[in-house]
Amino acid sequence: MGNSVSEVQTADDVLLELRNLRTWYPTGGGVLGGGREWVKAVDDVSFTIKRGETLGLVGESGCGKTTLGRSILRLEQPQSGQVIFEGEDVLKMPAGRLKQVRRNMQAIFQDPHGSLDPRMKVRDLIAEGLVVQGEMRRDERDARVAELIDVVGLRREHLDRYSHEFSGGQRQRIGIARALALRPKFVLADEPVSALDLSVQSQVLNLLKDLQSEFGLTYLFIAHDLSVVEYISDRVGVMYLGRIVELASAEALYDDPRMPYTQALLSAIPGNERASGRARIILQGDVPSPINPPSGCPFRTRCWLAQDVCSELVPPLREVKPDHFAACHFADAI
């Protein structure tokens, strides 16, 4: 790495660290920018992911979880903040360095339909990253592709077919093989099982877990399904209107949520009322617009505990118990 300008000091066991990340999109406004408003898709987000860890990220549509994931890979351009991957700020990297680092940061998306080119054979889809990085000989590439198809549980005769010939679960396996081709250290998994039926979803979740232990992968696992995230994650972050409002180990977060929004979210899981014995909390209204989020706490307009202070001060994400962070003025009282 040398003395690159993007070098930053982080703890040894941390693979990825976000510091005060902001991704805002301009909207409306005139040609001169007068009256321009901003969609605050990701607003002041900080967290770390340790090597070999799975950090789950949950939140409802529009909370900014997908934009956050894409910002980490620099598929979106954040306004400010830092994305520190192995001690280097991804956002400050020159293009050449970014290409080198991207081999270590790969992604799996929800829709294997949309992310697989229908005119390419499975063999070429899996090898695409290797070709782009361009340092393997043809026979080495073929060997790697054959190995990958085994790893994700497909057969070698599948290599010469096209993606439309496969079921949803098989297509997601192809997407996973593609992401792993470059032997990445970090994988962003954005709703990787949401489009799959339950019986197939469990196959893919098992595969993701196996691959993690085999290759020492670190996952950022983004999903709206709270049960899936609880199952797969070591730690879980909850997003609301562009902010992380709670972050803790999966166990602590699901057993003892300290932010009212998290409590409402967990109580809304169908069938959970009976299972957990906790009363259902029915939230009123919809999520406010991220263009003009409420002052103070973003959740206060739907929160049953809101007081005057909630509209005046943004509650910081603070440690309410060891390694349990919540952004609520009343997190200790809950």
Element (H, E) at 208: helix 198-215
- Contact between 18 and another protein (CB under 8 A)? no
Q: Which residues lie closer than 8 Å to 127 by C-beta, 6 or more apart?
A: 141, 142, 144, 145, 181
Min dist. Cβ of residue 289 to another protein (A): 10
Is the Cβ–Cβ distance between 278 and 267 less than 8 Å? yes
Per-residue binding letters, 300-329, with another protein (x by CB under 8 A): ------------------------------
Alpha-carbon distance 34 to 24, whole Å?
Answer: 17
Decide: 84 and 10 in contact? Cβ < 8 Å: yes
For 51, list phi and psi in degrees, rounded to 5: -60, 130
CB 230 to another protein: min, Å: 6
Among 30, 33, 35, 285, binds another protein (CB under 8 A): 285
Give the pair of three-digit tokens for residue 194. 């949401």
Name the one range near another protein by CB under 8 A: 15-23, 43-51, 72-80, 282-290: 282-290
The contact mask relative to another protein for 181-220 (x = CB under 8 A, - = no) is ----------------xxxxxxx-xx--x-----------
- Distance in angstroms (rounded) separating the CA atoms of residues 173 and 197: 14
**Complete DSSP assignment for 131-153:** HHHT-S-HHHHHHHHHHHHHHTT
Q: Is residue 134 a contact point for another protein (CB under 8 A)? A: no
Q: Tell me which of 283, 305, 314, 334 binds another protein, using CB under 8 A.
A: 283
Take residue 269 and report the two structure tokens written for it: 């899981």
Q: Which is nearer to another protein, 128 or 230 (CB)?
A: 230
Q: How far is the CB of 82 from another protein (least distance, A)?
A: 30
Nearest to 177 by CA among 198, 156, 202: 156
**What are the backbone angles phi and psi of residue 240, rounded to the nearest 5°?**
-145, 125
Question: Taking CB under 8 A as the criterion, which residues in 45-104 touch another protein?
Answer: 60-61
Q: Does 292 bind another protein (CB under 8 A)?
A: no
In this structure, is the dihedral angle defined by the CA atoms of residues 186, 52, 42 and 251, taken in order, positive or negative? positive
Q: Which of residues 260-279 bind another protein (CB under 8 A)?
A: 264-265, 267-272, 274
DSSP H/E element including 18: strand 14-27
Asked if residue 34 binds another protein (CB under 8 A), the reply is no
Q: Does 227 bind another protein (CB under 8 A)?
A: yes
By CB under 8 A, residue 231 contacts another protein: yes
Integer Cα distance of 320 and 327 in angstroms: 9
Angstrom distance (rounded) from CA 57 to CA 229:
7
Half-sphere exposure of 300 (CA within 13 A, CB side): 20
Query: Residues in contact with another protein, total (CB under 8 A)?
Result: 39
Asked if residue 163 binds another protein (CB under 8 A), the reply is no
- Residue 334 sits in the site that holds another protein (CB under 8 A): no
Can residue 4 be called a binding residue for another protein (CB under 8 A)? no
Site string for another protein, 236-255 (x = CB under 8 A): --------------x---x-
Q: Is 165 in the site for another protein (CB under 8 A)?
A: no
Please answer whether residues 68 and 220 qualify as being in contact, where contact means their C-beta atoms are separated by less than 8 angstroms: no
At residue 121, what is the residue type? K
Residue 154 Cβ vs another protein, minimum distance, rounded to whole Å: 12
Binding site for another protein (CB under 8 A): 60-61, 167, 169-170, 197-203, 205-206, 209, 224, 226-228, 230-232, 250, 254, 264-265, 267-272, 274, 280, 282-283, 285-287
